[in-house]
Chain A
Amino acid sequence: MAGIASRRLAKELKEIHTQGCPVGIQLLSADNFEEWHLSLEVMGDSQYQGEVFALKFRFEPQYPISAPAVQFMVTDKYKSPVHPHVYSNGHICASILGTEWSPVLSVIGVCVTLQSMLASCKKKERPPDNDRYVRHAPDNPKQTRFHYHDDTV
């Protein structure tokens, strides 16, 4: 199984290296086929001008059949963008990362989609249930069952 994921990721990585990333997206790290980091910046006029975010992708061996776990990184350097679909722990409410995932999508494809999600934001605010969600959020945003422990991300 792992073969499929690594072959596909290797191909994506090769493409990134040969063709480069779309504007505003940069590969930060892709040392293995389990976790990649990319930076994301919204170009042009937007609510997030001058802000740089980082996305963490985690891949299962079933990738691309199963969606990657994608979230904004929350570290000393990076913050979670204030957006109605982004929780302060970096978790993202985006259907393409859940039920609407398709293996046709790729790491770069997800980045571009999230980039445009931010670009189209008119009002910077957290999801209304942010506090409640973040309190109980599982570490992995893909997890469907509740795990009542603190999110450590």
Chain B
Amino acid sequence: MSSREPMWYCHECHAEMRPLMAPDPHCASCHGTFVEKIENPQDDPREFTGHGPLGDDAAPEFDQFLMGLHRLLAHPGPRSPAPRPSSPGIGGGIRFEMTRNRPGAGGGTFVLGGPNTLGRAPGERDGVPAPGSSMFTRRNSGDRDPENAIAGNLMMQYLISMLGQRPGTRGPGTGAGADPLGGLFGPMLGGAEEGRWGDYVFSQDALDQIMSQLMENSNAHRPVPASDEVVNKLPKEILEDGSPLLEKDCAVCKEQFKLGTEDPDEQIVVTLPCKHPFHEPCIMPWLKSSGTCPVCRYQLVPQPSQEHGGPGAPPAGGSSRPGSPSNGNNRPRSPGAGGNGGGGGLLSTLLGHFGSGSGHSRSGLNASTNNRQGESGHSRSGSNASASNRQGESEAHIPGSWSEPVD
């Protein structure tokens, strides 16, 4: 090897050497693979030595900046939050730990992430750190309190904690100002769950989580059953001679009300507030799955409907309900507003989009059924009118979202 050949620098043992080149360049003295050719005087790897073997504090100014930012956001004056609970295991994000035994330099453990590393920042645990104090600790000598170990590059920590920690939702006591920084980044990043960033996932758990969240959300429009209290208050009537009910049908079984049925329960007629009558055994199972009138969808209990947010839909006359396209947008779920602790930001935007997609497809069909019901027959004109609504819709929104199982 020519002496003109530049030396290499080993970032692990700081040796200057000529590396062994096979199979990959590695340090001739420690066999580490973090080696760099010293070829550019402007970018001499040896200049990193002063700061430590891994160059953690390579950019202290930037760390300082981040630290200051975090402090600013974490302690916005009087609104200063209670100390964040930092029980390990709860706030556990991704933990990356690397332990090495280096000849000549002592053992070292390099930890990234881990339980609540941000929450454990000096600002929380030991009071606000003096400017200039180190935000990280390397346990080279092993004589430090492991509890105190804020290891790894601060920038890394920020990234990891943004990825690995759901902001402001962990544990009790994380009230209003729980993690403003997380709150700041959370919506932007899609409300990071453990091992998850938006809809990118890093683990099977996170994938499952996303899946179940998608499913939950897709089921968010499941009908709400009527409570026993509501059901018990419904007026019941026993059929008798001359009752005007005998002229009417039960819309569930499609049978006319009549006296002297085999099943004595079929003598009991329940009339909903919208005045639609049903056999008791016909309507009860339905109300237990959905607190609405099968005929006009009058809401006995508020439904998570895309049509009407509140209770008490206009009674009777099913066709009076507007099938207007804008209905699909009235759903309470808005991106980032999820009070269910689910991911905000991108994901819920995505979900919201999903939702509105299905909402639209729904409102269209829905309206058509309503029209049909309203006109008591298979009126084609009714269906078509609403169908044209749907047409306009499906151009602007993603169609084809599946209302039930969802993909």
Contact = CB atoms under 8 A, between A and B. Distances in A.
Contacts of B211: 146
Given A22-B378, A104-B294, A104-B373, A94 B365 contact: yes
B286 A95 contact: no
A94 B369 CA distance: 11
Interface residues of A, number: 52
B369 A113 contact: yes
Interface in A1-50: 4, 7-8, 11-12, 22
A144 interface: yes
A53 interface: no
A127 B404 contact: no
A128 B362 contact: no
Interface in A97-138: 97-100, 102-106, 108-109, 112-113, 116-117, 119-120, 122, 126-130, 132-133, 136-138
A141 interface: yes
Contacts of B358: 93, 95
A144 B369 contact: no
B391 A122 contact: yes
Given A99-B222, A103-B251, A93 B368 contact: no
Q: Label chain A's interface by main secondary structure.
A: loop
Q: Label chain B's interface by main secondary structure.
A: helix
A128 B398 contact: yes
A84 B219 contact: no
A141 B366 CA distance: 19
Interface of A: 4, 7-8, 11-12, 22, 62, 64-66, 84-85, 87, 91, 93-100, 102-106, 108-109, 112-113, 116-117, 119-120, 122, 126-130, 132-133, 136-138, 141-146
Given A84-B399, A136-B407, A144-B215, 16 more contacts: A64-B253, A94-B403, A95-B362, A95-B366, A98-B403, A98-B404, A100-B365, A102-B294, A112-B378, A116-B380, A117-B365, A117-B387, A127-B399, A132-B407, A138-B405, A142-B405
